[in-house]
Amino acid sequence: MEIKSRKEKYDTNKLHKRLRRLVGTAITDFNMVEAGDKVMVCLSGGKDSYALLDILRNLQIHAPLKFELIAVNLDQKQPGFPEHILPEYLAKIGVPFRIIEQDTYSVVKRIIPEGKTTCSLCSRLRRGALYRVASEIGATKIALGHHRDDILETLFLNLFYGGKLKAMSPKLINDSGQHIVIRPLAYCKEKDLEAYADAEEFPIIPCNLCGSQKNLQRQVIKDMMQEWDKKFPGRLETMFTALRNVQPSHLVDNVLYDFQGLRIDNENMADSAAVIDQVSFNPKHEETEMIK
Q: What gap in Å lies between CA 209 and CA 97, rounded to an integer?
A: 23
Residue 5 is predicted with a pLDDT of 75
The answer to the question of residue 257 being in a domain is: no
Instruction: Let me know whether 174 and 67 are in one domain.
Output: yes
270 and 148 assigned to the same domain: no
Q: Are residues 123 and 164 in the same domain?
A: yes
Give whole-number Cα distances, 33 to 47, 56, 70, 114, 163, in Å. Answer: 22, 10, 14, 41, 33
Q: Residue 143: exposed, middle, or buried by beta-carbon count in 10 A (0-12, 13-18, 19+)?
A: buried
For residues 167 and 286, membership in a common domain is answered with: no
277 and 188 in a single domain? The answer is: no
pTM of the model: 0.83
Residue-range definition of the domain harbouring residue 24: 2-250
Q: What does the alpha-carbon distance between residue 65 and residue 53 come to, in Å, rounded to a whole number?
A: 17
The closest alpha carbon to 27, from 15, 39, 11, 16, belongs to 39
Structural domain contains residue 138: yes
3-state helix, strand, coil in the chain (%, to 5): 55, 10, 35
CATH of the domain at 34: 3.40.50.620
pLDDT at position 35 is 96
Considering the domain architecture, whether residues 76 and 208 belong to the same structural domain is answered as: yes
Q: What is the pLDDT along the chain (292 residues), one digit of tens a residue?
A: 445 577 788 888 999 999 999 999 999 999 999 999 999 999 999 999 999 999 999 999 988 899 999 999 988 777 778 889 999 999 999 999 999 887 766 676 666 666 566 566 567 777 888 999 999 999 999 999 999 999 999 999 999 999 999 999 999 999 889 999 999 999 999 999 999 999 999 999 886 555 455 557 888 999 999 999 999 999 999 999 999 999 999 999 999 999 999 999 776 666 655 555 665 555 454 444 444 4
Do you know the residue count of the chain?
A: 292
Q: Is residue 256 part of a domain?
A: no
- CA angle 254/255/259 to nearest 5° reads 35
- Number of domains present in the structure of the chain: 2
